[in-house]
Amino acid sequence: MAGQLIPLPDMAAQVGNELSPTQRVQLWVELMATCDDLLRAGLRHSVDDGKDLPDAYKQWYKQKMIDHDRMIAHMAERLREATANAS
């Protein structure tokens, strides 16, 4: 399919197939820690010194949750409209 960004299942990388469930969880935890490190590294560019980093993180998270709530409300409204139009 043209423009498809996600590979088909048979073409996707097979990561962790040989790992035990415990090793898969450990891999997931490492991935989440890496994502957190990348987020904090990006936030460091928006603050003057490391002392403001916890506040920058709190502000980022607060805005992320506001945006998430708006998205969920919009999706619920679209579902309500689709349900009303279907009946």
Question: Does 79 fall in a domain?
Answer: yes
Question: Does 3 fall in a domain?
Answer: no
What are phi and psi for residue 14, nearest 5 degrees? -95, 85
The DSSP H or E segment spanning 58 is helix 53-86
pLDDT exceeds 80 at position 82: yes
pLDDT score of 9: 80
- Quote the mean pLDDT of the chain: 87
Question: Does 64 fall in a domain?
Answer: yes
- Domain that residue 65 falls in: 22-86
* CA separation for the pair 9, 16 (Å, rounded): 15
What are phi and psi for residue 7, nearest 5 degrees? -70, 155
pLDDT score of 50: 62
Both tokens assigned to 9: 């299942």
Question: Does 7 fall in a domain?
Answer: no
Domain total of the chain? 1
pLDDT tens-digit map of 36-74: 999 988 888 888 766 788 888 899 999 999 999 999 999
pLDDT score of 1: 54
Question: Does 9 fall in a domain?
Answer: no
Question: Does 73 fall in a domain?
Answer: yes
pLDDT exceeds 70 at position 2: no
Question: Does 57 fall in a domain?
Answer: yes
